[in-house]
Amino acid sequence: MSGHGTPIPMTSRRAGPLSGVAEVPGDKSISHRSLILGAMAIGETHISGLLEGEDVLDTAKAMRAFGAEVTDHGNGEWTVVGVGVGGFAEPDQVIDCGNSGTGVRLIMGAAATQPISVTYTGDASLNKRPMARVTDPLALFGTTTLGRSGGRLPMTLKGSSDPVPVRYEVPVPSAQVKSAVLLAGLNVPGKTVVIEKEATRDHSERMLAGFGAEITVEDTEEGRVITLTGQPELKPQVIAVPRDPSSAAFPVCAALVTPGSDVLVPGIGLNPTRAGLFATLRDMGADLTYENEREEGGEPVADLRAKFSPNMQGIEVPPERAASMIDEYPILSVVASYAKGTTMMAGVKELRVKESDRIDAMARGLRANGITVDEGDDWWSVEGLGPDGVPGGATCESFLDHRIAMSFLILGMGAQKPVSIDDGSPIATSFPIFERLMADLGAQLIRANI
């Protein structure tokens, strides 16, 4: 879908302690990949715990447009009957990925090395985001791109009938770019090699191996070298999607800043390429513990227990941790506002090209609520005011960005005055049950501005 319809103004105010169990939805990254790889397999893939957020539903729709049979059986149970590697039909409609960078970039990769023409678009946020980072490596396979200048959507990609494998060093730390090149390599004979200097989330590598592709990963002086052998027959899988650590971040951080809180967030994937926020919060002195640590589907999983933490200190977040918590900096900046001292976040240039410029969006809203924020091109810092010190009282713009919207609502939960956002509708892209889940914990959220 393009756009989010009518804006939903929202306000959150300080409430009693948050308590209870917060069952957050399935992982967004793994949900997209389950649908796309399911569509490229031969046979029926079963998915349970699929995130039914707008981003993932747009990917499901796209897979249908390429000829896969995608069925919603209710309660997060889905099946995908795939068309096989190289078997995508040319869609008779524009592929609209709504708000989702992951959706459009991964789908572009999967389709770009098949002999079809596909036109892609998105909402006002997605159509501003850089796509050359994906179309540049896809051109090396022989794919032609036609579209707006500056590498922005809408654009049309036409796959070569004779694509060649590539060796590509990803110039920015991006799992989306890495994954687009790997998915493109699936349709191509020979070995496609992707090199990343900094490790980013590795769901594509793990899931490609799970679906039966021949893929190796080596840590070398050059970086992580991933080698994929093209044109495998992918075998359908039974996938139980783990709960999303990026969604878990919101009830966890809400508990840390709301006096008296004690919240359990069960079954959260702690894959080291995703869990940087939780390590950072613990470094700041958060009362955050891992209970019932276990392995599920080859991934480390734990139940997270978060309690109100009045003694958190600002820290310098290690820049080498950035990729493992890239979507969590907005909510970290909220926690930093309730810590004592400065929190410095560096090596985070990628935040400027997400659904919004997330440094700018957070800096504007935090400042309006009485918090001092400093920023440069690839860093920002927040001066914490302690557990009782955040004034609040302002309305923030969410810039069509779900993580910005949710972060400011959490800011309001410990602030002296309520905090509002102009539009909570983007929350449905990744966390459609956010409002109900937070209300069940005891949060006071209303659909109106102060």
Ligand X SMILES: C=C(OP(=O)(O)O)C(=O)O
∠ CA 99-82-205, nearest 5°, is 65
Closer CB to ligand S3P, 174 or 381, in the complex: 174
Give all strands of the β-sheet with 42-48 in edge-to-edge order.
69-72, 78-83, 42-48, 238-240
324 binds ligand S3P (CB under 6 A): no
Binding ligand S3P by CB under 6 A: which of 12, 99, 102, 309? Answer: 102
CA distances from 267 to 149, 306, 386 (A): 44, 14, 30
3-state secondary structure of 361: helix
Give helix then strand counts, H and E, for the chain: 12, 24
Catalytic site residue 327? Answer: yes
407-424: b (≥16 Cβ within 10 Å) or e: bbbbbbbbbebbbbbbbb
Residue 110 C-beta: closest distance to ligand S3P, Å: 13
Q: Tell me the CB-side half-sphere exposure of residue 180, using CA atoms within 13 A.
A: 28
- Is residue 65 within 8 A of residue 55, CB to CB? The reply is no
Q: Return the one option of ligand S3P, ligand X, none that residue 175 interacts with (CB less than 5 to 8 A, by type).
A: ligand S3P
Q: How many residues form the binding site for ligand S3P (CB under 6 A)? A: 11
Instruction: Name which position in 59, 114, 174, 324 contacts ligand S3P (CB under 6 A).
Output: 174
- Judged by CB under 6 A, the stretch of 94-102, 154-162, 185-193, 386-394 that binds ligand X is 94-102
Site map 193..232 versus ligand S3P, x via CB under 6 A: --------x-------------------------------
Give least dist CB 323 to ligand S3P, A: 7
Listing DSSP states for 7-43 in one string gives ---EEEE--S--EEE----B-HHHHHHHHHHHHHBEE
Choose among ligand X, ligand S3P, none what residue 179 binds, the Cβ cut-off being 5 to 8 Å by kind. ligand S3P
Binding to ligand S3P by residue 113, rule CB under 6 A? no
Write down the catalytic residue from 27, 327, 401, 423.
Answer: 327
Any contact of residue 403 with ligand X (CB under 6 A)?
yes
Q: Which residues are annotated as a binding site for 3-phosphoshikimate?
A: 28-29, 33, 174, 176, 327, 354
Catalytic residues: 327
Residues binding ligand S3P (CB under 6 A) = 29, 101-102, 174-176, 179, 201, 326-327, 350
